[in-house]
Structure 1
Amino acid sequence: MAIDATQPYDDSNIFARILRGELPCRKVFEDEHVLAFEDINPLAPTHVLVIPKGAYVSWDDFSARASGAEVVALVRATGQIAREAGLVEDGYRLLANTGLNAGQEVPHLHVHIFAGRPLGPMLAR
């Protein structure tokens, strides 16, 4: 079910629960501002979710309200994860869905890192 990214942050969402330690995750990276973990239902051989630790619903929300340090941390962490996993040479895809039409399912900003096989076109035609 897609969510409306203009709604207020819902602190009962699955990523908020992971951040609070209520649910486990297979952590790939963590720093002051970012947590990254393996997707529990991967869509590619490598499927990592990178999330800010702050309460941001979507990319739009994050870009409007996050501190400069949070924005830099998310971008740098995403690149570092890809480099350390050896994804750069063969390539990888970043995906951040925002809102209903994009199919955002969890109302917490998250960036997917997909890699490990040819991923096909960006959008189904």
Structure 2
Amino acid sequence: MDCLFCKIVEGKIPAKKLYEDEQVVAFHDINPQAPVHFLVIPKKHIATLQDVTEADRALLGHMLFIGQQLAVEQGCNQGFRTVFNCNEHGGQTVYHIHLHVLGKRQLSWPPG
């Protein structure tokens, strides 16, 4: 498999990690869209949200929990945004699910 995020999980590609446990890795986005912008990815390869199964429910909850904990640790006490992009029309560019967490600036809605 030639997946960028799987290579980060395997340690083959470096990343500026914020957190790692047996299920997920969190690291700073290489093209940040806010003063705080990091990703939380599962170590298990799941291409898109449409590929999530019943067995992945706890994993997705864990991703969100870790994302909010890290957002607070990064100083996003006034608020932050969490985003999953899904497929081309949803803006997904890396086909390994990932949670974007953005904060420390005023974010507008709709996002664009």
Both proteins in one fold, TM over 0.5: yes
Q: How much has 1:120 moved relative to structure 2?
A: 1.5
Q: How much has 1:90 moved relative to structure 2?
A: 1.2
Moved more, 43-52 or 115-124: 115-124
Q: Which residue of 2 aligns with 1:49?
A: 39
Q: How much has 1:97 moved relative to structure 2?
A: 0.4
Q: Which residue of 2 aligns with 1:109?
A: 97
Of 87, 91, 95, which aligns to 2:79?
91
Moved more, 76-85 or 64-73: 64-73
Structure 1 spans left out of the alignment, 5+ residues: 1-10
Instruction: Report the TM-score, using the length of structure 2 for normalisation.
Output: 0.89
Amino acid across the alignment from 1:70: L
Distance 1:92 1:59 in 2: 21
Question: Of Structure 1 and Structure 2, which has the larger fraction of its residues in helix?
Answer: 2
Q: Secondary structure at the match of 1:78?
A: helix
Structure 2 spans left out of the alignment, 5+ residues: none
Of 1, 16, 22, which aligns to 2:6?
16
Number of aligned residues: 112
Amino acid across the alignment from 2:104: G
The percentage of counterpart residues that share the same residue type is: 37
- Which structure has the larger Rg? 1
Amino acid across the alignment from 1:78: G
Instruction: Report the TM-score, using the length of structure 1 for normalisation.
Output: 0.81
Report the CA distance shift for 1:99/1:84 in structure 2 as closer, same or farther (over 3 A): same
RMSD of equivalent CA atoms: 1.5
Amino acid across the alignment from 1:79: Q
